[in-house]
Chain A
């Protein structure tokens, strides 16, 4: 919802056909047979994207499509499908675009590897700089000329 807040703040038009509504998505409360089902539902609705919204999960969105998708996640959960099957169902219809946690595959390995590469690169840079600075001969803090100026200032004061 916050994104629509920022976007409306910036006067960006939204796709009206999607049944835009600003209200919170609180519909009929859902009941589950057991804790595991509830956990699965709670996780999934926070990881699936409302495909017609401005970057919102289906948990947050009040768009009708998001409500449909929530209902489908709920029905499938109750029917005993596991999380992977439900995600697979959504991906078959809406593509990887529907997953807020991108899958690890050919076009995303760089995305998932980047934090590790960055950390590694960062550590390397740190090490190189530290070694470089340590190896630097200790130079006097001031040149002779500067010492003279310093002396003069001290006398003036």
Chain B
């Protein structure tokens, strides 16, 4: 009976979402405070029921209720408890339930944290979120219900795909979904602004922290996924330009653009129409991602039995979202004024260039992802677009962007002088060119592209340091006071994130150019070497885990006769999927390189095949991703967002000393 409770809770949540998408909106139009207030209660109630629903599904997994079809196909008796719990999102139906739960959580968070927003605004935001919820909950209930029963249930479940029985599974999907779904909040703020006709610096200030937080989650989600693929799968790869990966990368690119364009909207009242458009596009791209991944249109060359019903449903949602929001946009956007004037060389113009480049990058990836589909649809042939294409196309767009990352923060709003910037930054430029130019020589042969990337990375870091130094002001002041100036969260956050990006650039440049990969055949006692490291196979063992057996190799890694690490790569055979052996790579990290061993197949006799990797600077990739997210988090925590909220009581046109002219938009 418990599973039916979960289903029931889901249906109740749908009812509440329906009410939430109508009542507050009507209230906001009529100016009825009571109707507007319902939004908050409905959002909270919806969250409660969605939590209940998710809890019920989790419970069904924990107690091995194999009469629930979804549990039977994604869990088994011996699966460790943690993977029973993560199996909740180990398949289509459950992951969708996690998706709607996350949506509910964002809705409740908005209802709770934005109480000081003007009530019309909050009511509209919640109503739009309610509409999104209706779509996704209905999708879950009608096409992908995780609570479906099979009677009689099997004695044991089929077990979760061994690939997913990994710590990465605990973090990756929830983080990714938090990011993906968070874009719905961004969208809701944009739509509320359009509906209410209120689009000023204050609006930008309200929606900015939400955007940044959603972006942080998306960044972390993508990074954890990449890290998971890197170590668990033993491919040594971390990004494959796969349609499914691109599906998460596209909204990340536009969300990054959005963060920067919101900065202009908040500080200078500019780029407003474009900011709204970006918010709409970003959200549409998340739905498009769901479509790509779940309908099987692009990835399913060999998926025999995908359900076209699901694809049609998501496509319907995408159509409604796009046409609905574009209609409102077309109706309202022309009334939104332009921002203040700015010169061709100013922070605005550079941020505009940033947005243009990010949009170009996003469109290029988008075209590369959908081009094969389009050709096929017109009967013009079947082609594949893969990593060689994306690598060739993406890098040239990114390099100028990296130059801007260093330049932007040191250039003034409205009008600046290139000569002045050059005077300030010429030493930084010189040091970057020299340091970046010499850096590759510490690892291997000199390559122009690698050197250029490293120059740009150094440039970003040095300009950030210089900017912070400048902000500290005169050395006559006490140190504490000077530090306090730099410790402004949004300022520090921006620079942290930029430095994080620089670290990632270093890692990509280094690993793409200098990684070493070698397949070898080893018998116990034999050695092989790669990139100056000697790998000795000491012995082979068999190990038993909670629900798997494994062959394990004991490999000693030495450099110049000194022991670096003892690595234990495994080849696992899961009880439920013995025909599908899994590689568990083993790696040793150091600040400037990873060494890493994967165990392959057993060859003749007691020889085994191994793949040895030397990966320079991989550590910088993950540290960079952490800094990127940390920077975003800091920026979102800036005091002025909270102050602004507390001060705003009535949605009057309220001049702000720090902002340009507030915009007059008909309400």
CB 8 Å contact bits of A1-45 with B (1 = contact, 0 = none) = 111111111111111001011111011111000000000000000
Asked if B357 and A26 make an inter-chain contact with CB atoms under 8 angstroms apart, the answer reads no
Which of chain A's residues has its CB closest to B390's CB? A100
Cβ-based interface call for A79 (8 A): no
Q: Which of B279-330 contact A (CB under 8 A)?
A: 293-294, 296, 299-306
Asked if A5 and B303 make an inter-chain contact with CB atoms under 8 angstroms apart, the answer reads no
Asked if B385 and A1 make an inter-chain contact with CB atoms under 8 angstroms apart, the answer reads no
CB 8 Å contact bits of A82-121 with B (1 = contact, 0 = none) = 0000000000000111111110000110110011001101
Chain A residues with Cβ below 8 Å from B302 are 14-15, 18, 52-54
Asked if A100 and B303 make an inter-chain contact with CB atoms under 8 angstroms apart, the answer reads no
Asked if B162 and A6 make an inter-chain contact with CB atoms under 8 angstroms apart, the answer reads no
CA A23 – CA B578 in complex, angstroms? 11
B537 to chain A, nearest CB (A): 14
Cβ-based interface call for A146 (8 A): yes
CA A92 – CA B571 in complex, angstroms? 37
B529 to chain A, nearest CB (A): 14
Chain B residues with Cβ below 8 Å from A13 are 303-306
CB 8 Å contact bits of B393-423 with A (1 = contact, 0 = none) = 1001100000000000000000000000000
CA A136 – CA B269 in complex, angstroms? 15
Asked if B364 and A114 make an inter-chain contact with CB atoms under 8 angstroms apart, the answer reads yes
Stretch at the interface among B430-438, B557-565, B598-606, B615-623: B598-606
CB 8 Å contact bits of B83-108 with A (1 = contact, 0 = none) = 00000011111010000000000000
Assuming the contacts A14-B302, A26-B598, A26-B601, asked whether A3 and B393 have C-beta atoms less than 8 A apart, the reply is no
Which of chain B's residues has its CB closest to A18's CB? B302
CA A95 – CA B229 in complex, angstroms? 29
Stretch at the interface among B236-244, B447-455, B457-465, B631-639: B236-244
Which of chain B's residues has its CB closest to A121's CB? B360
Asked if A60 and B338 make an inter-chain contact with CB atoms under 8 angstroms apart, the answer reads no
- Chain B: residues with Cβ within 8 Å of the partner, total of 96
Asked if B386 and A130 make an inter-chain contact with CB atoms under 8 angstroms apart, the answer reads no
A37 to chain B, nearest CB (A): 15
Which of chain B's residues has its CB closest to A7's CB? B299
A150 to chain B, nearest CB (A): 5
Asked if A29 and B385 make an inter-chain contact with CB atoms under 8 angstroms apart, the answer reads no
Cβ-based interface call for B334 (8 A): no
Asked if A11 and B299 make an inter-chain contact with CB atoms under 8 angstroms apart, the answer reads no
A113 to chain B, nearest CB (A): 10
Asked if B397 and A119 make an inter-chain contact with CB atoms under 8 angstroms apart, the answer reads yes
Asked if A23 and B371 make an inter-chain contact with CB atoms under 8 angstroms apart, the answer reads no
A18 to chain B, nearest CB (A): 7
Asked if B357 and A9 make an inter-chain contact with CB atoms under 8 angstroms apart, the answer reads no
Stretch at the interface among B34-42, B114-122, B211-219, B580-588: B580-588
Cβ-based interface call for B389 (8 A): yes
CA A8 – CA B172 in complex, angstroms? 14
Asked if B242 and A3 make an inter-chain contact with CB atoms under 8 angstroms apart, the answer reads yes
Cβ-based interface call for B1 (8 A): no
Cβ-based interface call for A47 (8 A): yes
Q: Contacting A100 at CB < 8 Å: which of B301, B352, B387?
A: B387
B443 to chain A, nearest CB (A): 19
Chain B residues with Cβ below 8 Å from A24 are 233-235, 583, 598, 600, 611
Q: Contacting B244 at CB < 8 Å: which of A3, A118, A121, A122?
A: A3
Cβ-based interface call for A156 (8 A): no
Cβ-based interface call for B554 (8 A): no
CA A63 – CA B564 in complex, angstroms? 34
CB 8 Å contact bits of B321-352 with A (1 = contact, 0 = none) = 00000000000000000101111100011001
CA A67 – CA B522 in complex, angstroms? 20
Assuming the contacts A26-B610, A107-B383, asked whether A100 and B388 have C-beta atoms less than 8 A apart, the reply is yes
Q: Which of B350-374 contact A (CB under 8 A)?
A: 352-353, 356-357, 359-360, 363-364, 367-368, 371
B661 to chain A, nearest CB (A): 5
B45 to chain A, nearest CB (A): 29
Asked if A133 and B341 make an inter-chain contact with CB atoms under 8 angstroms apart, the answer reads yes
Q: Which of A110-157 contact B (CB under 8 A)?
A: 110-111, 114-115, 118-119, 121-123, 125-126, 129-131, 133-134, 136-143, 146-147, 149-150, 153
Chain B residues with Cβ below 8 Å from A138 are 341
Asked if B386 and A22 make an inter-chain contact with CB atoms under 8 angstroms apart, the answer reads no
CA A142 – CA B580 in complex, angstroms? 69
A116 to chain B, nearest CB (A): 9
Q: Contacting B661 at CB < 8 Å: which of A53, A101, A143?
A: A143
Residue of A24, A129, A133, A143 ringed by the most chain B CB atoms within 10 A: A24
Which of chain A's residues has its CB closest to B654's CB? A149
Chain A residues with Cβ below 8 Å from B603 are 28
Which of chain B's residues has its CB closest to A129's CB? B352
Asked if A2 and B304 make an inter-chain contact with CB atoms under 8 angstroms apart, the answer reads no
Assuming the contacts A6-B242, A12-B299, A119-B397, asked whether A107 and B368 have C-beta atoms less than 8 A apart, the reply is no
CA A125 – CA B393 in complex, angstroms? 20
Chain A residues with Cβ below 8 Å from B293 are 6, 10
Given A13-B303, A107-B375, 19 more pairs with CB closer than 8 A: A1-B229, A2-B242, A10-B293, A11-B90, A22-B581, A23-B580, A23-B581, A46-B388, A54-B299, A57-B386, A57-B387, A96-B381, A102-B389, A115-B360, A122-B357, A130-B349, A136-B341, A141-B340, A142-B655
A-B contact pairs, 10 of them (CB 8 A): A22-B161, A23-B571, A24-B598, A29-B609, A54-B300, A101-B388, A122-B356, A133-B341, A134-B341, A149-B654
Query: Shortest 4 CB-CB distances between A and B: which pairs?
Result: A26-B600, A100-B386, A15-B302, A11-B91
